[in-house]
Structure 1
Amino acid sequence: MNAQPLRIGIAGLNGRVGRLLAEEVPAGGAVLAGGTTRDGTPVAGLDCPVHAHIADLARECDVVIDFTHASTVAAHATALAETGTAWVLGTTGLSPAQQQAVDAAARQVGVVQAANFSPGVTLVTRLARQMGAALPGSDYDAEILEMHHRQKVDAPSGTALAMGRAVADGRGIRLEDHIESGRDGHTGPRADGAIGFAALRGGQIVGEHSVIFTSGHEQIVLTHRSFDRRVYATGAVRAAKWLRGRPAGLYDMEDVLDLNAGS
């Protein structure tokens, strides 16, 4: 049994989720060991070490929680692997090369990677995979609808893509071969087996995602709504605590929630 409290560092300490993590880490019984900002500038109201470089933070931590930007992922992967620091990664929009860097780090340290750390989203995504397997694309059209705040710069969201990928996995196909996104103008009829995406933006919506299966006879809709970004912070801290003592490997929130036991 570990007698010492878990030391958690936060990459992007001054970000929206980073500030919530700074509250949730001690609330979860762990120690806030520090964080990073772009130039190492201290964050007002937080009394913890702040670093400009991820390696300096990693040497002071057992695990780093990272909700930064895809452009930082490769460097973070290298630094955390070299220091032997576990990694909770919530950054989305990774290129194939950036994902390869994550995979390489996971051969050295424990990594929990997820597009969304909400337990509810995790369960909806799992159900989407099961429904994709049970409801074939020849009979059921699959659509993913998402809405976020007006400042969000990417579409579809990482969570929406994860849900669509779950449907594709259930059907034994590659999402990249069946995705329909951003329909506009005279598009012609919907392709058989397509997985469609629609993105809405407005106000300060934290996040809404619906997975919709429609046949000629029925419709099934799975919907999740986030009211507060804190749910992502509490889920990430839960993942960090779960990682303690785990062997190197790439994990996800289904592992953290013990949904894969016996599978």
Structure 2
Amino acid sequence: MKIKVGLIGFGRTGKAVASVILQNREFSLEWVFRKTSALEHRSVPEFLGLESDEPGLIFSSEHIQIRELLEKHPIDVLIDFSSNESIHQYGKEAAKQKIKIISAISHYGEKELALLRDLASLTTVFWSPNITLGVNYLLFSARFLQKIAPGVDIEIIEEHFKQKEGVSGTAVKIAHALDLDVSQINSVRAGGIVGKHELIFGFPYQTVRLIHESISREAFGNGAIFVARNLLNFPLGLYNFEDILRPYFNIEN
């Protein structure tokens, strides 16, 4: 039986994520929920030019409340690629209905983080500023390398498309995980770069570079599916990517 998914947000990344979900046989995209009424009641598969028997209808918050949407079109997992305010709109209702919540929002304030913790007492909640598998593997590996050589010089370089504002949330997360100051993040904005993160470990006689580059936004869809698949058997609580990856690093037979 397929895992039923509801998607919040249908911008450039949301469309790419929807495309990946539609092409995965384990999952069924039941609907997309967005602010604007543009494309309302359209079929996502039809809009994206994909053959699919999944509903994938587009709904707008202008004409339907999240409670009604969840009751009429039940889902197992809710994936959020919209904005940091959206959690206030759907969070409590989804948690009441025991729907697993996967948030891929880059930046959350303390108010939103507190809400995530509250929701985690009712359902399984996951949050990661960057939900790509590769960048989280990079972060996990970086922490291991830092443990081996705690005094090594580390620099962070993040590159994104020209219109991206502020420092990359992923880069900030990496800095915090490695106990580095955010001022050590070097930002580059140019052209249509989807996203690139590089860690430079400067040893006295050698250099180690860990690099992750998103070639297309579909990488976020693959990450969301990886998380959803692994999260199915997780109990109530608030989880991050490290919680999901840790069992895979157990090399004991």
Unaligned stretches of 5+ residues in structure 2: 45-55
Q: Is the 8 A contact 2:106 2:130 kept in 1?
A: no
Determine which of 169, 193, 200 is the counterpart of 1:205: 193
How many Å separate the matches in 2 of 1:130 and 1:96?
A: 28
Q: Is the 8 A contact 1:35 1:57 kept in 2?
A: no
- TM-score, normalised on structure 1? 0.80
How many Å separate the matches in 1 of 2:67 and 2:4?
A: 15
1:35 corresponds to 2:63: no
Q: Is the 8 A contact 2:17 2:217 kept in 1?
A: no
Deviation at 1:114, TM superposition (A): 1.4
The corresponding residue for 1:100 is 114
Deviation at 1:94, TM superposition (A): 0.9
Q: Is the 8 A contact 1:40 1:50 kept in 2?
A: yes
- TM-score, normalised on structure 2? 0.83
Unaligned stretches of 5+ residues in structure 1: 169-177, 182-195
Determine which of 164, 168, 172 is the counterpart of 2:175: 164
Deviation at 1:228, TM superposition (A): 0.8
- Which amino acid in the other structure matches residue 36 of structure 1? F
Q: Is the 8 A contact 1:55 1:83 kept in 2?
A: no
Determine which of 137, 140, 144 is the counterpart of 2:152: 140
1:34-53 aligned at under 5 Å gives the runs: 34-42=31-39, 46=44, 48-52=57-61, 53=65
Deviation at 1:56, TM superposition (A): 3.7
The corresponding residue for 2:92 is 78
Aligned residue for 2:157, secondary structure, equals strand
- Which amino acid in the other structure matches residue 160 of structure 1? A
The corresponding residue for 1:89 is 103
Aligned pair in 2 of structure 1 residues 78, 154: CA closer, same or farther (>3 Å)? Answer: farther
How many Å separate the matches in 1 of 2:43 and 2:32?
A: 13
The corresponding residue for 2:11 is 15
Higher mean C-alpha deviation, range 49-58 or range 81-90: 49-58
Q: Percent identity?
A: 25
Deviation at 1:45, TM superposition (A): 5.1
Give per-residue Cα distances to partners, 1:139-186, cap 9 Å, x unaligned.
Answer: 32221100000121221x111112222212xxxxxxxxx5142xxxxx
Aligned pair in 2 of structure 1 residues 163, 255: CA closer, same or farther (>3 Å)? Answer: same
How many Å separate the matches in 1 of 2:248 and 2:233?
A: 19
Aligned pair in 2 of structure 1 residues 129, 56: CA closer, same or farther (>3 Å)? Answer: farther
Aligned pair in 2 of structure 1 residues 110, 262: CA closer, same or farther (>3 Å)? Answer: farther
Give per-residue Cα distances to partners, 1:205-239, cap 9 Å, x unaligned.
Answer: 01110111224443221111111110111110222
How many Å separate the matches in 2 of 1:262 and 1:140?
A: 26
Q: Is the 8 A contact 2:175 2:182 kept in 1?
A: no
Aligned structure 1 segments of 4 or more residues deviating by more than 6 angstroms: none
- Which amino acid in the other structure matches residue 94 of structure 2? L
1:64-75 aligned at under 5 Å gives the runs: 64-75=78-89
Aligned residue for 1:111, secondary structure, equals strand
Q: Is the 8 A contact 1:254 1:260 kept in 2?
A: no
Aligned length: 233
Aligned residue for 1:124, secondary structure, equals helix
